């Protein structure tokens, strides 16, 4: 019997990227990994970039299998809309259209399905994003657990942000407290959501609060990502690995709510490895970093904070690595861990 796929391949960490490269990227001819002078799986960002008429068309796709399908702060419908919209925004795009694929289990309650799709549509409407098409299928009972939603988002950008432009000296900014969504889904899956106060998913669109800042400071923003599966650790580790630079973060400066930190500490889970669904991570030129933070706060991201910086690795062993300075001044390596938490988004 040959190798089997494990849950780790879908957790958003190192195993996910290794699987994508071996199963997909390595099989595609280099000249077919992008369109024209755009970007595609040659850079492995959150979406693709296609030059069109002097602008750039941003295309992002994602799929959502979260369990439970309803959770404090949202549901699979709003999560699908926000997740795809945010992927477009993080590449510098202004989302204008969305297509969905909805796969439903035979026997799902019709009213529950209607409520989920109402949630998706309302989330799109709030950002003035058009729902222009999609697909709907029903699987026999037991073939899928209630519902799976996939989405494709389209947006235009004057200047796309590609995450391979990181430079020494860049400051790393986190816009909001981390691990909110991951902690909420973890508590829900293990039956503790009613017993742990203060847990609520952070799922939201970043179009109104972060996109205006990206547009204003676009040439000084060298990377942008929403840290979903794999969390902040996976995002920073990917950036460092791609550029062979080192990223240093000050762990005590990373925003996290006390309720979330206490719950995850009790569970033995590192918050840096858990998904966020309403957070942006930006790598910004150092001379404008404070200004960017101030602008983000004006736009409603009141806890936007500089949490780290990009540096040349002092030794070859730290090339492509993320290092955390702890609250007591020690230093530890941050690894993109695969938390055993399937169906987190």
Task: List, in order of start, the domains of the chain with CATH numbers.
Answer: 48-157 (3.30.1330.10), 171-334 (3.90.650.10)
| Per-state percent for the chain, helix, strand, coil, to nearest 5 | 35, 25, 40
**pLDDT score for 61:** 97
pLDDT in tens, 280-294: 999 999 999 999 999
Helix (H, G, I), strand (E, B) or coil at 26: helix
> Cβ neighbours of residue 49 under 8 Å, at least 6 residues apart?
34, 38, 39, 40, 56, 57, 58, 59, 91, 157, 160, 162
Beta strands in the chain, from DSSP E residues, in sequence order: 48-52, 55-64, 70-71, 74-75, 94-105, 130-139, 147-157, 171-174, 221-225, 246-250, 281-284, 305-311, 322-325, 331-334
Q: At what angle do helices 110-126 and 76-90 cross, to 10 degrees?
A: 30
Q: What percent of the chain has pLDDT over 70?
A: 99
Predicted TM-score (pTM) of the model is 0.95
Asked whether the predicted pLDDT for residue 46 surpasses 80, the reply is: yes
**pLDDT score for 304:** 98
Can the peptide bond before residue 145 be classed as cis, meaning omega within 30 degrees of 0? no
DSSP string, 291-332: HHHHHHHHTT-TT-EEEEEEE--SSGGGTT-EEEE-TTS-EE
Q: What percent of the chain has pLDDT over 90?
A: 87
∠ CA 288-292-297, rounded to 5°: 155
**pLDDT score for 338:** 66
pLDDT in tens, 130-173: 999 999 999 999 999 999 999 999 999 999 999 989 999 999 99
CA Rg, the chain, in Å?
A: 19
Do the bridges between strand 331-334 and strand 322-325 make them parallel or antiparallel, or are there none, so unpaired?
antiparallel
DSSP state of 168: T
Q: Where residue 307 falls among pLDDT bands split at 50, 70, 90? A: very high
Which residue, among 209, 207, 220, has the nearest Cα to 159 in the 3D structure? Answer: 220
Q: Which of 22-26, 68-72, 113-117, 200-204 has the lowest mean pLDDT?
A: 22-26
∠ CA 303-80-87, rounded to 5°: 60
Distance CA 129, CA 121 (A): 9
- Please state the separation of Cα 213 from the chain's center in Å: 18
Which residue, among 57, 65, 64, 17, has the nearest Cα to 41 in the 3D structure? Answer: 17
Q: Where residue 342 falls among pLDDT bands split at 50, 70, 90? A: confident
Q: Where residue 1 falls among pLDDT bands split at 50, 70, 90? A: low
Which residue, among 189, 272, 260, has the nearest Cα to 230 in the 3D structure? Answer: 272
């Amino acid at each position: 019997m040959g190798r089997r796929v494990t849950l780790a391949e879908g957790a958003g960490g190192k195993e996910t990227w290794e699987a994508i490269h071996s199963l997909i990227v390595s099989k595609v001819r280099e000249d077919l990994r992008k369109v024209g002078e755009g970007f595609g799986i040659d850079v492995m960002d959150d979406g693709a970039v296609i030059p069109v008429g002097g602008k750039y068309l941003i295309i992002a796709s994602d799929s959502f299998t979260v369990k439970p399908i309803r959770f404090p702060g949202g549901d699979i419908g709003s999560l699908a809309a926000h997740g795809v919209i945010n992927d477009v925004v993080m590449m510098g795009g202004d989302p204008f259209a969305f297509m969905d694929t909805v796969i439903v289990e035979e026997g799902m309650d019709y009213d529950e399905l209607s409520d989920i799709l109402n949630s998706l549509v309302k989330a799109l409407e709030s950002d003035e994003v058009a729902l222009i098409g999609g697909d709907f299928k029903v699987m026999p009972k037991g073939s899928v657990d209630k519902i799976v939603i996939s989405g494709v988002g389209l947006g235009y950008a004057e200047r796309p942000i590609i995450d391979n432009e990181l430079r020494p000296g860049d400051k790393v900014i986190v816009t909001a407290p981390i691990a909110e969504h991951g902690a909420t889904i973890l508590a829900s899956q293990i039956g503790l959501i009613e017993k742990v106060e203060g847990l609520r998913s952070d799922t939201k669109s970043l179009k109104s609060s972060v996109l205006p800042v990206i547009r204003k400071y676009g040439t000084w923003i060298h990377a942008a990502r929403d840290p979903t599966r794999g969390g902040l650790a996976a995002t920073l580790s990917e950036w460092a690995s791609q550029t062979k630079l080192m990223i240093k973060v000050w762990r005590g400066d990373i925003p996290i709510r006390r309720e979330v930190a206490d719950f995850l500490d009790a569970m033995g889970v590192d918050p840096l490895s858990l998904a966020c669904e309403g957070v942006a991570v930006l790598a910004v030129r150092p001379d404008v970093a404070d200004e960017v933070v101030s602008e983000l706060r004006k736009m409603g991201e009141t806890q936007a904070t500089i949490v780290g910086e990009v540096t040349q690795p002092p030794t070859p062993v730290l090339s492509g690595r993320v290092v955390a300075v702890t609250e007591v001044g020690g230093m530890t390596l941050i690894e993109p861990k695969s938390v055993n938490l399937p169906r987190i988004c």
